[in-house]
Structures are given as structure tokens and as C-alpha cells.
Structure 1
Amino acid sequence: MREGKDQKSQKTGIPRRRVRELMEMKYFKKFSFFLLLLLFLVGYTFLIISSETVDEEGGCSFSGCVGKTHPAMRKGTPMESKVVEEIWRVLEEDTDPKVLEKRSFAASMGEFIGEMKSSRPDATTFALNLKAMVSRIEGKARAAKIEGYLYRHVASSSIPKTLHCLSLTLAEEYSTNANARRDLPPPEISIALTDNSFYHFVLASDNVLAAAAVAASLVNSAARPSRSVLHVVTDKKAYAAMHAWFSLHPLEMVVEVKEMNQFEWFGKRKERVLEVMERDRKARVRFRGGPSAIWAASKGERPGDVAAKLQTLSPKYYSMMNHIRINLPEMFPSLKKVVFLDDDVIVQADLSRLWEIDLRGKVNGAVETCHGSDSFVMSKRLRNYLNFSHPLISSSFDPEECAWAYGMNIFDLEAWRKTNITRNYNLWVQKNVESGLSLWQLGTLPPALIAFHGHVHIIDHHWHMLGLGYQEKTSLKEAEKAAVIHYNGRAKPWLDIAFPHLRVLWTKHLNLSDTFLQACDIRAA
């Protein structure tokens, strides 16, 4: 049986070592360093050659010979200054790429200097050869960076074999073990599901391991976990595995696991919702042509633009799990207030205090993302998400208005039910699909920024720290201070491309000696 599970677990995934090497892009770093060093030395290289090379026939130094033959060198200024000036002139002016392609093929500085010594060119020829070499190195560096983005896209969009194994193993357990099919929650405490004296949390996920980590961190950080209720929402494919995990790993809080089809709301609107989602998916594929088309068309584009195109193809942007939060008032008609958690967060503080925050009549309590020490993650305004060249956007919103974050939000469902937020969200999603994704390209946050406009109460930034999946420079010390840390970005903590020093904050909430985790070779690193 174990052998069969291992075979199943090999279905997906790409080599761990290859992913890590590509994510670090070691060869790109080498190219970048070499390029910077080359540019730093450019003003001196020709002088070195000049001083060491002697014209055998004329008996003059090379720079002296250049002075006799090159008009630019016949003025009364020092020879060294004229040589450097000529080199920079050639480097700065536009040159036909075809001309550069025929120039020096030196692969290193040593080869280049040797080639120049043997051929003894004038300053102009020297500069053209240098420019050709720099151009080739830039091209290699750019190609390496784009390749890294492509592999990062593949690595972040694929299901690791360990997670695939865990889902299959738990699904099998669900079908063969009655304990894995026990009612969640047990009938005697099911009344808590609609009791507003409890603290209600909603987690939407089809990733069992991610959901397990979020749930464990919520319990570990709660002052009174027994007064908390976790509503886990998943899809049909992951339901058996998700139910089995929480049945076999009881927590101190109340846990409910439901599949989307079990909600009355979904039964009423299923066809309409799925139709919009499918149209959105097709529009994205047609819009970008898929990863292979993006790669083929990447010549001449900036690596950052290529990365943005690849990001639009991420499966999460047309996953139902990412859209259901806009329907929370209908999904939980008896509840007054809930905290919604993404499955790539970890809770580090007692979140029951969120219920004490006065939202002042607003619907959504969220942190702003335009202020903070992290200039990349915390510099987001509406212009970063919406296309302000489109009249529908520019006529309705201010591009400099601060954006806010999904991932950990407290929602006042009573206030929400008095608004048209959900209806407006669906209308704008429809408009974006009909416009060929010309209003925005990425995910569910842009339509939420529109639909919740005027309905957001900003909460203190310590409640929600973002960016742990974006950049390695995030400080572990700072991350430990946040109430909730969010691994938004491609480097999810369950992937091999996760940042090791930040991953520990996630893995510490998993019992790695668990039988199921060990069977699927799920480890801390």
C-alpha cells in the first residue's frame, strides 16, 4: 500500500534542486556582478592596453599611434582623457544590433583584453567590441531572469508531490475509516455554528496542509480557543481529504468542514457563478496565450513585464476559493460578524480582540497597503491594481487612493447585508470579462477595491503583515511581532521556493511526527 501511495505522490511536481537553483538565479547574479564590474572598468581598460602595447613598425605606444591616426586625439588635451571620451561616445550612441552581432565574441574580460592586445584596434573599434560584449552579457542576464520567472511560475502553480500524496492518502482514509467520516462538529456542539457569542472564523481552501497550519496557529494563539468556531469551506475535490484531516486531528475549538455545494447560496447561483468564472478563465488564457506564448514573445520585453504577464495566469485568480468571500452574508445568514482568513496566513496573536474594534458602520476592517517600511509590498495604491487609462476606472476612482489588503479581514455581515457590495462586485467582474480584462488583470482584490469602496475601516497595521512570499529581505524579528503574517506572493511556505528563515514561522504549527505527514515525506525544510 505504501508503495502505491508513493507512486501516486510522484504524479506532479518538478525537481526540488532545479527549482531552488533557478529561484536563486545564481547565474544571473554572476552576470549582473560581471556587468557592473565591466562598466566600472570601462574607463580604464583601453588605457591599460594602450600603455602595454607597442607598435612594432612605428615604435610608438598604442595610444600614441591612435593619436596620430584618430582626429579626435589631435587636440591639445591629455591623451588619456580623449581615449576615455571616445569610448563613452561610442557606448552612449545608438548602434545597429546587427553591427554588434559581428563584433568580438569574448566571453570574459581576460579573453577580451587578450583579443584587443592582439588586434590593437583604434579607440572606436575597441569601444564597439566592448559594447558588443556588454550587449551579449545583458542579453544572457535578461534571458536568465526571464527563465527564472518562468520556472517560478511553474513551481508556484504546480502541486508539490508531497501535498498530492497527502490529499490522496487522506481521501483513501475517508473512504475506509469511519472515524475519518465523523460529523464535524459533533451534534452536541453544532449549535455553536450559529451562536454569535462565539468568535467565528472562515477559511476557504482546497489545500489540506495549509488549512491545517492556519487552524493550528489559530488555536495556539487564542486566549479562549473553546469559544472559537472555524468554518472551513472547500471544493468537491478536496472535501474528503479535508474532512478526514480535521476528523482525525481534533482541535480545542469548534470546526466545521463544508463543501461549496452544501451551501444553499451556491445551489441557487451555481450556474451563474461558474459561467462567470469560466469566462474569466478563458479570457485570461486568450489574453496572454499561456506560458509558452509569453515565453516565445518575450524577446525585447522587460523581465518585470514578462513576470506580470505570467502572474495573470496563476490558477488562484480564477479559483472559486478566491471568490467565495464576496458571498459571506448569504453563506452564513445567521452570523453577525466573521473574520475571514486566507490559507497562506499564520495567526500569532489572540484575534478575539478584533471583535472589540468599532468599525464605525463600515463593512470591512482591513489594513492599508500604501504605508510602511517595506517599499515594495506596502506601496500599493489603486493605480497599482486598476487600469486608469480606461474611462470607466478613471471617471470613478482616484489613482492615488490607498489600497487595502485581503488575507485577514473582519467583516460586519449585518452592515454588509444593507449594501449592494456583492451585486456591485459581480457587475464589475462581468464588465472586466466583457472588456477583455482591460479594467484589471489580477485576481479578486481589484473588484473588491471597487465594490467595498467607501465601506472599509482601516485597522492598525500590526494586525496583518504582508509580503512573506514576495521577498527574502523580510525581517524575521519584525514578522514575529505581527498578529497575522501573510505569505502572499509566489514563495508559499509549503513550496520548495519558500524563504527558509520565514518558513519556520509556518512549520512550527505542524506536527511533523504525524503519521500522515511522515508518510508523504513532509518535512520542515
Structure 2
Amino acid sequence: MKGGVGGGGGSSYTFHPKRRWRGFVVAVLGLVILSMLVPLIFLLGLHNGFHSAGYVAEPRNAVPRSFDHYGNTRTWNQSEDVTESLGKEAGNRTIDEDATQVSPPKRGLSAPPPVMLKPPSGTNHTKIVVEVIKSVVDESEKSCELKFGSYCLWRQEHREDMKDMMVKKLKDRLFVARAYYPSVAKLPAHDKLSRELKQNIQELERVLSEASTDAELPPQIGKKLTRMEVAITRAKSITVDCNNVDKKLRQILDMTEDEADFHMKQSAFLYQLAIHTTPKSHHCLSMRLTVEYFKSPPLDMEVQQDEKYMNPASQHYVIFSKNVLASTVVINSTVMHTEESGNQVFHVVTDGQNYFAMKLWFSRNTFRQAMVQVLNIEDLNLDHHDEATLLDLSLPQEFRISYGSANNLPTSSMRTEYLSIFSHSHYLLPEIFQNLKKVVILDDDIVVQQDLSALWSINMEGKVNGAVEFCRVRLGELKSYLGEKGVDEHSCAWMSGLNIIDLVRWREQDVTGLYRRLVQEKLSMGEESLGHVALRASLLSFQDLVYALDDTWVFSGLGHNYHLDTQAIKRAAVLHYNGNMKPWLELGIPKYRNYWRKFLNLDEQYLTECNVNP
């Protein structure tokens, strides 16, 4: 009993330390587990769920992820999102861990200010990255506009959808395939790839020979492009002689440069041809009117109105033109902006080829109460009828003047200006209109937007030619062409287009005689072209005889300048389409053409029959 008790006591004595040892072991294991879980929690980012405001940003240089509609994680494809507009630099922008701002690119566009990200709780992280990149795009556009000036504005205004994007891509792949094919063809172990490349090259060549825009491509072109890209990828993976590829690329590049040079020369030739050739529809109109003139009864009204045509009390406008439509727009726009059209007389001076067409046209069309007289310069009884060069109708001469300063700067520093002046036919005015004292000359490439009646009350202070001065070109800058003697260096050049001519002072100063002497002087010095001497002779003939009109009368440049001020165009009394791109040609600048077209009646029978639609 005692031993039992003692045994029980001994047993109790040994059991108590075991319980204490177990508790110690459990505590140690608990600490070990906690010491492992805490770092694991931080590593896995699970602590994010215990904060109500804030999130963990992606690690630096991490690739953003998104989820497809199946719930699977996939790598974010930059080519599918807005990063295309930023290029590779914008695609490599990263999110900073601490400040959560966008790191700027290493090169390229200037970096925008840091964008701080503070999304609400529960916001999807992938969407936040896209929003940041979109904000970068907007900021880049603003910085581009500030940095590069008007180019960004011009790019936005003239942005057009490319109609040959796929065609260009096919040409690019064809270019690369041609470069790799010769090297692959020399490797017997890759005959299959060689045949595949050759077949793909022939297919793309056949397709591109029949299509120049994406709309003309066959329906299966996507599969052909895919096969070509696969073949090119396999060819690039093969170890080939880089010198052969480089040589082939250079050959193709030389051929491309030669082809581009050929097309450039061809386009320049076709451009000049389009400028100096009458459009088919205009030629049709002239021929139809001429034929109809001889089929119609004779026009006797001309003889009855001779006295009205030469009445000095009327406002006389003179137009030298070979273009029916151009002269029609000039007359119509002038008449539409005047209050007293019955006092206006228009004299259209043309040549024998267009005389009958214009006679019939202006007999069929009326311009309120204004009268129109058509004159054939070849039938006029003039004192200088034996001088054939002065009797052939010539229109106002247009010149593109390039010059530098007196310091003989290189060609890249030269300035270019467009100038239009009188032709040889203009110097016959005193003989053609012997009974008139004053006329207003209108070029056939102008549009009138305001009443011109105020021109007749201007006091020209004894000058002969009232014109808008063109002070961007001064006679002193043309000394090498005009000559050193008798030139006022500070005098401005003047422009034709709208000119008031005092015929009385013209005859007193014998401007016609002076002009002819200057022409003969230049021709005797070996000048080949009569047109080349017109600039010098005209500028010197009217030196000190030009009355400067206000600049608001005429606004020039609509035939060559794409960047004119729209508000200045609307304020001008006369628009002058000086330059090669006339509004009645397909080469005309589209945004200026409507100012000219609205004064043309496109419903007229002959315009419809000849498909005239400038």
C-alpha cells in the first residue's frame, strides 16, 4: 500500500516534467511557424488585404498582366494597346515601387510630369496601367506641339486614312524575302525552305502587280502574308553569310533609289505638262462652242453697241484671257458685288483660236446689266501690226524669283518669291482703246469679293499704274538682273492682278515705247527667250510711275501657298490665284477652290455635256 502509494508518488514525480516539456515544444514550434509565415505573407503580398486604402505596385521592370475572358493570366501585349502610338520607348515605361509614378523614357519624346496613382480600393491593377499610358500619350502630344510648333497641328489637320497600309506591308516583306533568298538557295540542306521562299515571293509579286490599294487585294491575302512571315522567320534562324544578305540588300536599295528617281522626274514632267496643257473638258467646251457659233445665226448686236463699248463715262474693265471659264468667273464675281452693274463694260481680249467660242458664250450668258465685248487681238488694226511678237496674245507673266542677300550666301539661304507682271499684250492698251482715258485691268485668275467702284475715284497723283506693291522683292535685290544703272534700290516690285491704268499719262510718258526699247536692248545682248526679258522691261518701264494701292485690295498666293490665313482671305477685295495651281485645274489647292467655283454656273448645258467640274 505504501509502496503503491510511493510508486504512485514516484510516478507522479516523473510525469510532471513531461507535461512541461511538451508545452515548451509546442511554443517553440509555434514561434518557428510564425517566423516562417510572416516573411511569406510579405513576399506573397497578402498583407494588401488588410489595408483599406492603397495597393502594392508592380515591381520595377515587371511586365503588366491582364486576364482573358477565360480567367487565365496572360502577358500584356503592347501592340494591342495604346502603346503603339508611343513606340518602343513608351512601351518600356515602368511603374516606380515607392512613388508609383511613370518613369520617363531614355530617349525620344520629352517626358511628361510624374503621374501619381491613387486608385480607390478594389480597382483592377491592369486598368490602372492602361490609364497611365493613355495620360502619357496625351501629355506627349502636348509636348510635341510645344516642341515642334506647327508641325503637330499640320499633322492633325491633314491626317488621312492610309488606303495602302497592307500593300506597303507586303512590299516590306517582299523586300526582306528577296534579300534572304539567294543565301538560303545556296544551302542544299534547306531546299524545302528555298522553294517555299521562292513560291511566296512569286505570289506576292503577282498580287502587287495587280493591286495598288488595300481594296484591290484578294480575299486570302492575310494567309499569304502569314506564310511569308513564317518563311522569313525560318530564314532568319538559319546561319547564312551576312555579306551575301548585305550585298543583296544594297542591290535592292540601289534599284529602289533608281526607281524613285525615275518617278520623281516623271512626276515633275507630268506636273509641268498638266500646268501648260488645256484640260480635256475645257478643250471640249471650247470646240463645242466654236462649232455651235458657226451653226447659229450671225450675231448683229455687236455693231449696234460699239458706241456703248467705248463710252468714256462707263467703268471699263479689261481682261486678257484664253480661258472661257476663267474670264466668266472674273466678270460674274465683279458684277455680283456692285450696285450699279449697268455702268460696267468688260472687254475680253483673246486670240483667234478662242474668239468664236467666247463670242457665243458671252452672247448666251448675261451678267445683270453689264456689257461684255470680245476682241480678237489678231484682227485689231494697230500701228505695230508688223511686229508679230507683240501681236500674239500673251497672258500676264508669272515668275518665281530666287535670290540671296548681298553677302553671296549659299543656295540654302536663298529666298523664293512669286511675282506676276504685265505681258507684251498689255503694252498695246493705248492703241486698242484710243478713246478711253482710264481702264482697270483684271487678270483671269482672280476672284472679286467686294465692290470695285471705289477704284475709279482714286487720285493717282500723276502716276500711270495703280498696283499693289510687293515689297518682299526690292529692285536693289535684283541688281544683277536689272543692271546697275538707273535702278532705285529701295523701290518695291509691283504685282499684276488688279491694276488701274491712266491711259492719258501712259501716252504722255510713252511707256510702250520705253518697254519696246528695253526689250530690244536685252534681246541684242543675246537673250534667247522673249518671255525672259519681260520681267526686267516691265519693272524698269514703270519705275517711279506706280501708285501704291492699299494691300487690302488684293490678296495673292492662292495658286502656290497652302498656308494662307483664312481670315485674311475673307477680308480681301480680290483674291489672286498667282502660281501654277490654278483653281480650274485638278492641281488647284482644294481648300481655295470653292472661292472660285461659286461664281460658275455648273448647270449650263455645255458644261454638263463636256463634263466640266473644276
Same fold (TM over 0.5): yes
- Which of 433, 437, 462 is matched with 2:552 structurally? 462
Q: Secondary structure at the match of 2:385?
A: helix
The equivalent of 2:434 in structure 1 is 333
> After superposition, what is the alpha-carbon deviation per residue over 1:442-500, rounded to whole angstroms, capped at 9, x for unaligned?
47443211111110010011111111111222344322221111111111111111111
The equivalent of 1:435 in structure 2 is 525
Q: Is the 8 A contact 2:560 2:579 kept in 1?
A: yes
State the distance in 2 between where 1:427 and 1:133 align. Answer: 58
Q: Is the 8 A contact 1:369 1:404 kept in 2?
A: yes
The equivalent of 1:258 in structure 2 is 375
C-alpha deviation, 1:196, in angstroms: 2.2
Matched, 1:403 2:493: yes
State the distance in 1 between where 2:257 and 2:488 align. Answer: 38
The equivalent of 1:270 in structure 2 is 385
Q: How does 1:415-430 map to 2 (within 5 A)?
A: 415-430=505-520
The equivalent of 1:366 in structure 2 is 467
State the distance in 2 between where 1:119 and 1:407 align. Answer: 66
- Which of 136, 142, 148 is matched with 2:267 structurally? 148
Matched, 1:226 2:342: yes
State the distance in 2 between where 1:398 and 1:120 align. Answer: 67
Q: How does 1:14-413 map to 2 (within 5 A)?
A: 145-178=264-297, 181-184=299-302, 187=304, 189-251=305-367, 252-265=369-382, 268-272=383-387, 274-275=388-389, 322-370=423-471, 379-382=472-475, 386=478, 388-389=479-480, 393-398=483-488, 401-413=491-503
Q: Is the 8 A contact 2:377 2:391 kept in 1?
A: no
Higher relative contact order (CA 8 A, sep 6+): 1
C-alpha deviation, 1:362, in angstroms: 0.2
Q: Give the TM-score of the pair, scaled to structure 2.
A: 0.53
Gaps of 5+ in 2: 1-86, 88-106, 108-170, 181-238, 395-410
Aligned residue pairs total 365
C-alpha deviation, 1:135, in angstroms: 9.7
Q: Is the 8 A contact 1:200 1:337 kept in 2?
A: yes
State the distance in 2 between where 1:261 and 1:510 align. Answer: 28
Q: Is the 8 A contact 1:368 1:402 kept in 2?
A: yes
Q: Is the 8 A contact 1:205 1:343 kept in 2?
A: yes
State the distance in 1 between where 2:412 and 2:610 align. Answer: 36
State the distance in 2 between where 1:395 and 1:475 align. Answer: 39
> After superposition, what is the alpha-carbon deviation per residue over 1:241-291, rounded to whole angstroms, capped at 9, x for unaligned?
0100011112220111111134332xx31222x14689x9xxxxxxxxxxx
State the distance in 2 between where 1:303 and 1:440 align. Answer: 29
The equivalent of 1:59 in structure 2 is none
Amino acid at match of 2:361: W
Q: Percent identity of the aligned residues?
A: 33
Q: Go from structure 1 to structure 2 and tell me whether the alpha carbon gap of 1:130 and 1:349 turns closer, same or farther (over 3 Å shift).
A: farther
State the distance in 1 between where 2:531 and 2:489 align. Answer: 16
Q: Go from structure 1 to structure 2 and tell me whether the alpha carbon gap of 1:136 and 1:205 turns closer, same or farther (over 3 Å shift).
A: same
Q: Is the 8 A contact 2:391 2:425 kept in 1?
A: no
State the distance in 2 between where 1:439 and 1:380 align. Answer: 23
Q: Is the 8 A contact 2:385 2:391 kept in 1?
A: no
State the distance in 1 between where 2:257 and 2:312 align. Answer: 60
State the distance in 1 between where 2:391 and 2:365 align. Answer: 34
Q: Go from structure 1 to structure 2 and tell me whether the alpha carbon gap of 1:475 and 1:141 turns closer, same or farther (over 3 Å shift).
A: farther
Matched, 1:484 2:574: yes
Q: Is the 8 A contact 1:174 1:181 kept in 2?
A: no
Matched, 1:447 2:565: no
Q: Give the TM-score of the pair, scaled to structure 1.
A: 0.61
Q: Is the 8 A contact 1:146 1:303 kept in 2?
A: no
Q: Go from structure 1 to structure 2 and tell me whether the alpha carbon gap of 1:277 and 1:380 turns closer, same or farther (over 3 Å shift).
A: farther
State the distance in 1 between where 2:439 and 2:253 align. Answer: 57
> After superposition, what is the alpha-carbon deviation per residue over 1:298-345, rounded to whole angstroms, capped at 9, x for unaligned?
xxxx9999x99xx99xxx99xxx9422112112111111110011111
State the distance in 1 between where 2:445 and 2:608 align. Answer: 22
How big is the alpha-carbon RMSD for the aligned residues of Structure 1 and Structure 2?
4.0
State the distance in 2 between where 1:141 and 1:381 align. Answer: 39
State the distance in 2 between where 1:401 and 1:339 align. Answer: 23
C-alpha deviation, 1:400, in angstroms: 5.5
Amino acid at match of 1:241: A
Q: As a proportion of its length, which structure holds more strand?
A: 2
Matched, 1:414 2:504: yes
Q: Is the 8 A contact 2:523 2:533 kept in 1?
A: no
Amino acid at match of 1:173: E
Q: Secondary structure at the match of 1:181?
A: coil
